[in-house]
Structure 1
Amino acid sequence: MGNEINKTTASDKVIESIAQMIVSGEVKPGEKLLTERAFAEKYKVTRSCVREAIRALALIGMVNIHPGGGTYVADNNSDIPEETVLWMYHQNLNQFDEIYTARELIETEVYLECFDQMNEEIRNYVTQAREELLNLNTDTITGIQMEHLLADIDLHIGKYCGNSIMNKLLQTTLALRKELSIKILSLTSSRESAVLYRCKVLTALLQKDKKVLKDALKRFFMNSEKELNIK
């Protein structure tokens, strides 16, 4: 029991020390960290203790572990691991009305900010994404495949929006909505509805009037509310 407490305390100290190195800028995004052996010698702990600390830092997205290639500081724009989000919000995953409210606020803002950043690259992507949806066979695609496609579109919009904080908040809502979205999209009618309203949003995103996009987003979430049966 006492050894376990000491082990946990040691791991916590290693986590804190490495995290401080990253936050302070002592090691930069993309830079390789010391080896497990080097960290173990530096902090006078076992390699298993260091390994546990590194895994914890990877879980929260601070580092990336490359099997056989070492551990690197994660880029500031790296995606948040889905497991991290689910672990952080595991007690809230069934509060669908709260998840829906967060979705509407965050996703609306992300799309509006993407509108403000519009350029040729974004325009080409949005046009391509819309065409892919329009050519989709909603009878044969599965709910899982459909959810993945829609999430991928949102991820691209998040990266194009120019706001790294909003992008990370978007990633959080995508992870939280995933399970319920797959369930809803298991119905052909819901897949057809998703294509219709998402295409309207993408079409509005290509227009020059921001109000058109706001109206399309409002209708999109009104339809989502209907699908979720949130009153």
Structure 2
Amino acid sequence: MAVTDAAIDSIKDMIISGELAPGDRLPKEADLAERLGLSRNSLREAVRALALINVLDVRQGDGTYVTSLEPPLLLDALSFVVDFHRDDTVLQFFQVRRILEPAATAMAATQMKDDDIEALRKILDSLPAEPSVEQLVANDLEFHQRIAAGSGNAVLSSLIESLSGPTTRARVWRGLTQEGALGKTREQHVAIYEAIASHQPDIAMAWATVHVAGVEEWLRQAL
């Protein structure tokens, strides 16, 4: 194992064991390096690597701290990786969406409070009668992000949000080329909303599956 990898594992073990909790400041560099049996250069490299994935927060002139370790923060690094997708992998992102989003929608149907459901309704109502493709896609993204957040599971919500980027261009493409795309999107969004509002998780899951699978199937044929 490379020395830097060993240093990363040592810091990770301190966090996992509870010796370092979210918000804690790491010991001084010289003290920590001596304790772990590492060179200060190796320790610095480990700290840089952990800072890049939002595990550590390096504050100039103050010290190095463990971050909140909240899922949205840690999964932010996934969004960076996802941005490097190729066009020929976009179908795979839709396949993952088809697995995750129906589950999140079913959870939202049991978890969302009245105020959040009303906010979801306002997203639907905010779409103009004859929206541009860009307005339709933006509304679609906001609608699904609100549902994912309503699942009550921060990890699931963050994963779904990180998958939005690679599928946005396909959504725009569909809006421009598929006849009736606007009508289908509106109809399915309303059905999903009504299932959530009436707290029917099975129906909400079914409509979410139909919605995502429909875009996936269109893209499969288009490609």
Mapped pair 1:213 → 2:204: yes
Superposition pairs for residues 1-231 of structure 1, below 5 Å?
Answer: 9-36=2-29, 38-43=31-36, 45-65=38-58, 70-84=64-78, 87=81, 94-132=88-126, 134-135=127-128, 138-139=131-132, 141=134, 146=137, 150-165=140-155, 167=156, 170-185=157-172, 188-189=175-176, 192=182, 196=186, 197-229=188-220
Cα separation, partners in 2 of 1:12 and 1:214, compared to 1, 3 Å: closer
Question: Secondary structure of 1:95's partner?
Answer: helix
TM-aligned CA distance change 1:142 to 1:163, over 3 Å: closer
Q: Which runs of 5+ in 2 are unaligned?
A: none
- Aligned with 1:162: secondary structure? coil
How does the TM-score come out when normalised to structure 2? 0.72
Question: 1:5: which partner in 2?
Answer: none
SS of 1:185's equivalent?
Answer: helix
Q: Contact 1:65–1:71 (CA<8 Å) still a contact in 2? A: yes
Q: Which runs of 5+ in 1 are unaligned?
A: 1-7
Counterpart CA distance in 2 for 1:210 and 1:34 is 48
Shift of 1:227: 3.4
**TM-score, normalised via structure 1 length:** 0.70
Q: How far apart in 2 are the matches of 1:37 and 1:203?
A: 60
Could you say what the CA RMSD is over the residues aligned between the two structures, in angstroms? Answer: 3.8
Aligned equivalent of 1:3? none
Residue range with higher mean Cα deviation, 96-105 or 152-161: 152-161
**Aligned residue pair count:** 217
Change over 3 Å in CA distance of 1:117–1:177 after alignment to 2: closer
1:31 to 1:230, Cα distance in 2 relative to 1, 3 A: farther
CA-CA distance at 1:66 after TM superposition? 5.1
Contact 1:58 1:65 in 2 (8 A): yes
